Structure 1
Amino acid sequence: MRAQRIPWWYYVTAMAVGLGAGAAVAYFGEGFAGVSLIGAPWIVSALLVVLGVVVLTLALQVHRYATTDPRKRTAFFDPLRAVYALVLSKALAIAGATLAGWYGGQILVVITHAEAPYYTTVLIECAVTAVICLIDMVIGIIGEWLCQLPPDEGAEHPRVAGVSGRRSVTPAATRVRH
């Protein structure tokens, strides 16, 4: 399996879509439904922080295992766990960008009513959650980078060849060409 890095413009697009959707919900929400859908409960912010910490921890474990000398590895590391860490990092990055746009869009609409106590609370909630979402986006991007495998050094590289560091040299004329 060969995973590709997420292009930078995916994050910009996700943030723009979230910004538009968040602003639309904040603008039209109270007028049509009579129920306010703006703001973010504090539990959402707490869960986003926990999710960011979990993803960063998983990505660091994958990076530590991938960059450890193969001769010094003491434990087995499940490759499926590494794939999960990569997928979670990618998902966190895109979701963080989208949610940062969502809460940013709500801030843009609500900021005109900042003098009202309800809207002041909503502004604070959205601002805190938007910052946490931006941090989660960055954690996802870093986690994606941490889950990269180092370049394949091949069987003849001194680190992989053996404990003594010596490698057997086969003359070019005797190598089999495929």
Structure 2
Amino acid sequence: MKARRTPWWQYVIAVALGLLAGIGLASYGESSGLSLIGAPWIVAILLAVLGIAVLVMALQVHKYANTDPKKRPHSFVNPTVAVYTLVLAKALGLAGAALAGWYGGQILMSVGHFEAPFYHDAIIECAVSAVVCVADMIIGIIGEWLCQLPPNEGPENPKIKAAARRQSAAQAYKQ
């Protein structure tokens, strides 16, 4: 199985959909009188902890994958954990993008009411959560990169290609 990197446009679509959903929720709250905007502080804390956990796991996978097989310490990293870490990093990146848009949409619709205490608190809560979600998106992108396997020692390895080029150049020079 070959995992591919998440394309940049998927993050853009996630932010745009989250933004539209956040704007829709805030608009519905204004028209119906049922306000659902804001985010409890525990959400920002849990999202930050989740981002840190994924980053730590991705760093361990990266360290394990780039260490010489003869010198690898026995750790919890096995292929299944590495794949789960990759999937977590992909999911964290996309969810962080969508939630950043979600909270950003709520901020956009509520900024006109900033002087009201409820909206003031909701905007601050959404801003903190949006910043944490952007950080999670970045951690997801970096974690996905960290979970890449180094090229194997086959013909596609850059070192092997460079050696083959040098050898063919040397043979051409001798002739």
The answer to whether the aligner puts 1:62 opposite 2:61 as a matched pair is yes
Deviation (angstroms), 1:31: 2.4
**What is the RMSD computed on CA atoms of the aligned residues?**
1.5
Corresponding residue number in structure 2 for 1:82: 82
Structure 2 CA distance for aligned equivalents of residues 52 and 74 of structure 1: 25
Corresponding residue number in structure 1 for 2:166: none
Stretch deviating more after TM superposition (65-74 or 39-48)? 65-74
AA of the residue aligned to 1:39: G
Deviation (angstroms), 1:107: 0.3
Structure 2 CA distance for aligned equivalents of residues 75 and 120 of structure 1: 51
AA of the residue aligned to 1:46: I
Q: Calculate the TM-score normalised by the size of structure 2.
A: 0.85
Q: Which runs of 5+ in 2 are unaligned?
A: 158-175
AA of the residue aligned to 1:62: V
AA of the residue aligned to 2:57: L
Corresponding residue number in structure 1 for 2:47: 48
Structure 2 CA distance for aligned equivalents of residues 36 and 84 of structure 1: 37
Identity of aligned residues (%): 64
The answer to whether the aligner puts 1:148 opposite 2:169 as a matched pair is no
Corresponding residue number in structure 2 for 1:72: 71
Q: How many residues align?
A: 155
Corresponding residue number in structure 1 for 2:5: 5
Aligned to 1:89, the other structure's residue is in SS state helix
AA of the residue aligned to 1:70: P
Structure 2 CA distance for aligned equivalents of residues 69 and 43 of structure 1: 41
Corresponding residue number in structure 1 for 2:165: none
Corresponding residue number in structure 2 for 1:36: 35
Deviation (angstroms), 1:30: 4.0
Aligned to 2:74, the other structure's residue is in SS state coil
AA of the residue aligned to 2:40: P
Aligned to 2:17, the other structure's residue is in SS state helix
Aligned to 2:70, the other structure's residue is in SS state helix
Corresponding residue number in structure 1 for 2:14: 14
Aligned to 1:39, the other structure's residue is in SS state coil
Deviation (angstroms), 1:28: 1.0
Q: Which runs of 5+ in 1 are unaligned?
A: 158-178
Q: Calculate the TM-score normalised by the size of structure 1.
A: 0.84
